[in-house]
Copies of this chain bind each other. A is one copy, B any other.
Amino acid sequence: MGTTQLEAAPEPKYWHLKTVIGEALDSDFTVGEVLPNERDLAARFGVARATLRQALEQLELEGRLQRRRGVGTTVAPPRVGVDVSTTQHSWPGMGEDGWQSVDRAADAAPAAVARLLELAPGEQVHVVRRLRVTDGQTVAAELLYVPAGSVPALTDADAPDPVGTATHARGVLRELGRLALEGQDRSVELGSARADDAKELDRLPGAPVLVVTTRYLSAGRTAAVAVATYRADTCRLTFGDSGDLAMAS
């Protein structure tokens, strides 16, 4: 694929290059294979390094390529479908849901979460940190914000200041589970990984992530809010009747 054909294309050059490389990934490469370095690739396709980099960034955004520190650019496996249905109606931590409690802290909720929970600015809540592991890979990091009013039976010994262990985190979830769950609302939006989430997800800070916000409703009000950060490169979030949409790419 020489320079001429790329220059004749009416689309931006990197866009056409992206399609060409995408086809080459299908035909000439296998999943996990390391791509040649940027200089060799640019030479192979007869383009400037900047153009090549734009095309590779697009393919990374679309989940076709992975860039990993110390490894280089590899051909990505198909994205993993992760169920985010709200149809099961269960509190976090109930049953085998693939989430692991990490720890518990007392902290102020972010402004947007505080509004949902109808908290005064700066009011401290229980913050339970959890990780979602699918097929041995950490696919999401979550912060669950639980106001003291939602877990009234929790004692100071149950919730040590400032940070408690996974056992303390599970204690908060257990108390929360005593409430009657009336409903769950969920939203998905694009975000960028905070430094701490990025580390858990083995991504660089600022990497695009899918942010799933869940509001748990009980007794006519918001009893807890979870903000989960999913890897956007490797995950496809699924919901609906069968809980998974098999969409091999």
Contact = CB atoms under 8 A, between A and B. Distances in A.
Interface of A: 11-12, 14-15, 54, 58, 61-63, 79, 81, 86, 112, 115-116, 183-192, 195, 205-206, 208, 210, 213-215, 217, 232-233, 235-249
B189 A79 contact: yes
Q: Is the contact region of chain A dominated by helix, strand, or loop, or is it mixed?
A: mixed
B245 A215 contact: yes
A15 B205 contact: yes
B245 A187 contact: yes
A192 B62 contact: yes
A182 to B, nearest CB: 8
A245 B11 contact: no
A39 to B, nearest CB: 22
Number of copies: 2
Contacts of A54: 206
B183 A240 contact: yes
A239 B81 contact: no
A215 B115 CA distance: 36
Contact of A244 (B15, B185, B243): B185
27 contacts: A11-B195, A12-B205, A12-B206, A14-B206, A15-B195, A15-B205, A58-B192, A61-B192, A62-B192, A86-B239, A86-B241, A116-B247, A184-B240, A185-B240, A185-B243, A185-B245, A186-B238, A187-B245, A188-B236, A189-B232, A189-B235, A190-B190, A190-B232, A214-B240, A215-B245, A217-B241, A239-B239
A19 to B, nearest CB: 10
A86 B241 CA distance: 8
B188 A237 contact: yes
